[in-house]
Amino acid sequence: MIEKTLWRSNFKKSDDTLIITEAPIDAISYEVIHNLSSASYVATCGGFSSSQSDMIKDFVEGFSQFKKIIIATDNNAGGNQIAERLFHIIETSKFNGSINRHSPSKESHDWSNVLMG
């Protein structure tokens, strides 16, 4: 069985914020809505495997320029579970910046729902 991997945007050395979403379309939607010029994006592509946990930890620790991580998961039970796992992974890594969650205000919405109105 093939495990899921991560989707990742291009990144610049000047990027100081990492946004983590569940789906690539949510990452793109978040960028369109918030227009963050110094952010890189990662998407878990749905569920969450142990290899994805390792990749996120390696990514966070490997790019020391990140000062802030925003966990931008969906506003539903699945998004809550993924956010909890992400907080745990990041808090147990060598990352020492700020970690925040930013989810859509409407229950059961993701960032593509917000973009579409």
Q: Which residue type does 106 have?
A: K
- The CATH number for 56's domain is 3.40.50.920
- Residue 61, Cα to own-chain centre: how many angstroms? 15
- The position carrying tokens 């110094």 is 38
Global pTM value: 0.94
Q: Which residue type does 65 have?
A: Q
The answer to whether residue 2 sits within a structural domain is no
- Please tell me the total count of domains within the chain: 1
pLDDT of 46 reads 77
- How buried is 101 (Cβ within 10 angstroms: 0-12 exposed, 13-18 middle, 19+ buried)? middle
Query: Which of 58, 35, 37, 32 has the alpha carbon at shortest distance from 111?
Result: 32
The answer to whether residue 115 sits within a structural domain is no
Residue-range definition of the domain harbouring residue 60: 7-109
The answer to whether residue 61 sits within a structural domain is yes
- The position carrying tokens 């966990």 is 71
The answer to whether residue 75 sits within a structural domain is yes
pLDDT of 1 reads 59
pLDDT of 83 reads 97
How wide is the angle at C-alpha 23 spanned by C-alphas 103 and 59, nearest 5°? 90
- pLDDT tens across the length of the chain (117 residues): 566 789 999 989 899 999 999 999 999 999 999 999 999 999 999 777 888 999 999 989 988 899 999 999 999 999 999 999 999 999 999 999 999 999 999 999 999 999 998
pLDDT of 84 reads 97
The encoded tokens of residue 115 equal 């973009």
